[in-house]
Amino acid sequence: MHFTHNTLPLLVREESVNILNRHLAAAIDLQAQIKQAHWNARGPGFIAIHELFDRTASLVADDADQLAERCAALGGTAAGTIQVATETSYMLRYPLAIADTHEHVFAVSAALAAFGQAVRDSALAVAHNGDGDTADLLTQVSRGVHRQLWLVEANAAVKV
């Protein structure tokens, strides 16, 4: 940990940095998965899906930036390289063989939902540890991801 005048106890900051880095790796992975879908989707509604995936990937990249900056603000080091992301991301591998827009909508939706759930769970954990600011950031990320999930899923004609 680096020196900071941040008044949170060192152990709380260390735990928050670990959690933030866990989600940073997953966010980098998620952004790449969404770009994979953006580049490879084919079929009806292509341009709308193509643009939606591009916008969603950009928002996830912004989330990754916020997670990394919070790590640094706590005196930690943001571990945001591709190598770290591939080694530590908890995201499932994205299916590379798909091309159909509906299959990409399904795969991206599942990835967004998994990431959003993990981030939301961590928001509760860091709040319990006494780091309300990191909990607030994680809640903000979760809220944004779930909004994107709604927008992506709106392109699926699935009835329950």
Q: What is the pLDDT of residues 61-120, one digit of tens each?
A: 999 999 999 999 999 999 999 999 999 999 999 999 998 999 999 999 999 999 999 999
- Indicate if the pLDDT at residue 157 is higher than 70: no
Identify the CATH number of the domain in which residue 29 sits. Answer: 1.20.1260.10
Average pLDDT, integer, range 4-22? 96
Residue 128 lies in a domain: yes
> What integer pLDDT is reported at residue 156 of this predicted model?
81
Contact call for residues 109 and 56 (beta carbons, < 8 A):
no
Residue 146 DSSP symbol: H
Beta bridge partners of 100: 42
Q: What is the pLDDT of residues 26-72, one digit of tens each?
A: 999 999 999 999 999 999 889 999 999 999 999 999 999 999 999 99
Angstrom distance (rounded) from CA 34 to CA 111? 9
Our CA angle for 2, 4, 115, nearest 5°, is 70
Contact call for residues 33 and 94 (beta carbons, < 8 A):
yes
Q: Residue 132 belongs to what domain range?
A: 10-153
Average pLDDT, integer, range 9-22? 97
CB neighbourhood size of 1 (10 A): 12
Residue 45 lies in a domain: yes
Residue 94 lies in a domain: yes
Q: Phi first, then psi: give them for residue 100, nearest 5 degrees.
A: -60, 135
> What integer pLDDT is reported at residue 72 of this predicted model?
97
Angstrom distance (rounded) from CA 85 to CA 53? 20
Residue 14 lies in a domain: yes
Angstrom distance (rounded) from CA 100 to CA 127? 41
Contact call for residues 56 and 115 (beta carbons, < 8 A):
no
Average pLDDT, integer, range 129-148? 97
Element (H, E) at 98: none
> What integer pLDDT is reported at residue 45 of this predicted model?
86
Residue 74 lies in a domain: yes
Residue 158 lies in a domain: no
Residue 159 lies in a domain: no
* Nearest in space to 23 (alpha carbons), one of 74, 78, 96, 94: 78
Residue 5 lies in a domain: no
Beta bridge partners of 42: 100
Q: Count of domains in the chain?
A: 1
- Indicate if the pLDDT at residue 160 is higher than 90: no
